[in-house]
Structure 1
Amino acid sequence: MHTIQNTLYVMTPNAYAHLDNGTVRIEIERETKLRVPLHHIGTLVCFGNVLVSPALMHRLADEGKSLVLLDNSGRFKARLEGPVSGNVLLRLAQHKATADPAVTLETARAMVAGKLRNSRSVLQRAARETSDGEESAILSRATDALAASLRTARDAADLDSLRGVEGEAARGYFAALNLVVKPQMRGSFQLDGRTRRPPRDRFNALISFLYSMSMNDCRSAVETVGLDPQLGFLHAVRPGRAALALDLQEEFRSVLADRLALTLINRGQLTASDFDEREGGAVMLNDCGRRAVVAAWQARKQEEITHPLLDTKVPLGLLPFVQARFLARTLRGDMEGYLPFVAK
């Protein structure tokens, strides 16, 4: 259980949340694990099989507070709200912001900056840790290139220019990522450029699968705080595309997905036998590989990190929810510009 920015997240299976006078009490196997005054809670978010008493549901509705239900993997299921809700005002603010080219560009710049800084951090760490001097020099040049892209992104005059900078930076990043793979693993795991539909090698297949799960978490985060997932800043609006969730995902690609992919490869937790090659050259995780990656992903999300803005420990799996709330606060005018998550 974690309380972050007036949101109580209950992540323990079979936990029971109920009302005890003016307090929300969380029990596990009839033992009280947490008590939080109801007036300290704005939203109750329950992952998976968490029981919520009818009395607590009614009280949340009476006081204009939200109950959000997610499945075990964090996929958004439903939001229960009373008749009084600020979500319409938040969505109006979101629509107003996305209709303003200056606000859209400023927000998109922040998101790209978060992505570039976190990508650079992955390569910087690899440059420090490798014992191969030539590879260290190549990785260092790649981090310098990302620093240059970061400066260029800050001065991008429009969204097309910003997307161009981001795309070029991503190509350089993925080209260098092969050197983060341990030499003995490179025979089985090499990125042959970034290929998506379909992935053409095992490394691409792995990160595509991880990006898909990350995207699911970001969409859940966006919907949990009441934002419209279809209306983004950096990604163009298209029918059926969760543009805002894609926006939010950018700062987490390297922090959550790429780092986990590299860990699974470098520790030998995944091998060539966990992938199948299909007709036409497509490469996909097989059932055994998918189970291993999902288990590692869920374990990774339980790890805690100190959030630089909150100065408190937060499970990695809740980072998208924290950042979605920051974005909502920015749109409401409670924060002066969106601040992306940047890993230390």
Structure 2
Amino acid sequence: MKQTKYLMNPGRMSRQDNTLKFTPVDENGVEGTPRFLPVEQVSDLYVFGNLDANSALYNFLGQEGIAVHFFNYYEHYTGSFMPREYLLAGKMQVEQTKHYMAAKKRMVVAQAFVEGAACNILRVLKYHHSRDNAKDLGQAIATIEGLLANVPATTDVPMLMGIEGNIRQTYYDCFDAIVGATFTMDGRSKRPPQNELNALISFGNMLCYTACLGTIYHTQLNPTISFLHEPGARRYSLALDLAEVFKPILVDRLIFRMINKRQLQPSDFRVEVGGCVMKEAARKRFVQGFDELLKETIKHRSLGRSVSYRHLVKLECYKLQKHLLGMETYKPFKALW
């Protein structure tokens, strides 16, 4: 079974027969013990340290359909090496473009993404509100429910994005109450994040975005044609759309879980001129937690069987494909737990 592999340390990667050879290299240039990754076991690579590789390796990765996602020192996603789109289909490309170009069709999909995101945000807030009424999240829940009720009446994407922005702002204002006194949100800041909680959110969101991008690649959808976010040069905007639905479930829940279990402490971060960043050990723990969460399974109410969260993202892509082809109306994933 293919899996995502995370390269946290700097090193050199090359091809050795049908195996990927990764040799870690320390800051003094001393090579460590090589690791061998059978190519048939790798779905994609997340690179957090400096990677030394040549075009022969990338040709090999492209032939095997393995994407490589890069993050910089400050945990910002910087780009991806994406193999040739081997599953793109002409009919799907045409229909996806038509739905973007037709304002009414685009709004149906865009509204569904915001609806899914808002419902999952509410699920997170209601969970923490029920666990501890002293956190008093009732007003925020009522505000978001009111904003969600206005989504069907939106007539264009800027109006819809305004509502989505207000939902997110109300939601982020609740973070201080949820995490307690250990961390402080102090408003949402990014590029660069100014404190520990903002650094966690930004890093987690980038992991969710790249997970969605990797999943889209294995479908017939074109990742550059989106509906909620405006398509732009040099970005895979459909992954941004899809990530909106899953960030509350995959990222925010993980953040709250790790903080409440004291798996992350203020000492795991450092503030630099470029913003607040996680130390290497903390970053490894968070990435491990995210990967384990993607592998967790739930009982799917429609399929009647257990599926992983990673597979839920793929099912979301399939639902969107069916909508674009006129087979069924897209209904976003909404957590019930």
Please give the residue correspondences for 1:203-242 in structure 2 after superposition, counting only pairs within 5 Å: 203-242=197-236
Q: Between Structure 1 and Structure 2, how many residues are aligned?
A: 276
Does the Cα contact within 8 Å between 1:118 and 1:251 map onto a contact in 2?
yes
Does the Cα contact within 8 Å between 1:123 and 1:177 map onto a contact in 2?
no
1:321, 1:244 → 2: CA distance?
13
Q: What TM-score does the superposition give when structure 2 sets the normalisation length?
A: 0.76
Question: Which secondary structure does the structure 2 equivalent of 1:269 belong to?
Answer: coil
Task: Report the alpha carbon displacement of residue 303 of structure 1 after superposing the two structures with TM.
Answer: 0.7
User: Does 1:141 find its partner at 2:139?
Assistant: yes
Of residues 43, 50, 72, the one that matches 2:40 is 50
1:293 corresponding residue in structure 2: 286
Question: Which secondary structure does the structure 2 equivalent of 1:276 belong to?
Answer: strand
Task: Report the alpha carbon displacement of residue 195 of structure 1 after superposing the two structures with TM.
Answer: 1.0
2:333 corresponding residue in structure 1: 341
- Alpha-carbon RMSD: 2.6
Of residues 94, 97, 104, the one that matches 1:95 is 97
Task: Report the alpha carbon displacement of residue 48 of structure 1 after superposing the two structures with TM.
Answer: 7.5
Task: Report the alpha carbon displacement of residue 76 of structure 1 after superposing the two structures with TM.
Answer: 7.7
1:283, 1:324 → 2: CA distance?
34
Task: Report the alpha carbon displacement of residue 49 of structure 1 after superposing the two structures with TM.
Answer: 3.7
Q: Structure 1: which 5+ runs fail to align?
A: 2-9, 14-46, 53-66
Instruction: Report the CA distance shift for 1:76/1:341 in structure 2 as closer, same or farther (over 3 A).
Output: farther
2:126 corresponding residue in structure 1: 124
1:27 corresponding residue in structure 2: none
Of residues 156, 160, 179, the one that matches 1:158 is 156
Matched to 2:143, the amino acid is A
Matched to 1:270, the amino acid is L
Task: Report the alpha carbon displacement of residue 238 of structure 1 after superposing the two structures with TM.
Answer: 1.4
Q: Structure 2: which 5+ runs fail to align?
A: 6-36, 43-63, 71-79
Q: What TM-score does the superposition give when structure 1 sets the normalisation length?
A: 0.74
Task: Report the alpha carbon displacement of residue 196 of structure 1 after superposing the two structures with TM.
Answer: 1.2
1:32 corresponding residue in structure 2: none
Question: Which secondary structure does the structure 1 equivalent of 2:150 belong to?
Answer: helix
2:46 corresponding residue in structure 1: none
Question: Which secondary structure does the structure 2 equivalent of 1:305 belong to?
Answer: strand
Superposed CA deviations along residues 36-75 of structure 1, whole A, max 9, x for unmatched, are xxxxxxxxxxx974269xxxxxxxxxxxxxx8545799x8
Question: Which secondary structure does the structure 1 equivalent of 2:174 belong to?
Answer: helix
Instruction: Report the CA distance shift for 1:287/1:246 in structure 2 as closer, same or farther (over 3 A).
Output: same
Does the Cα contact within 8 Å between 2:88 and 2:221 map onto a contact in 1?
no
Matched to 1:50, the amino acid is E
1:167 corresponding residue in structure 2: 165
Of residues 115, 118, 121, the one that matches 2:117 is 115
2:88, 2:4 → 1: CA distance?
28
Question: Which secondary structure does the structure 1 equivalent of 2:330 belong to?
Answer: coil
Instruction: Report the CA distance shift for 1:12/1:293 in structure 2 as closer, same or farther (over 3 A).
Output: closer
Of residues 231, 236, 245, the one that matches 2:239 is 245
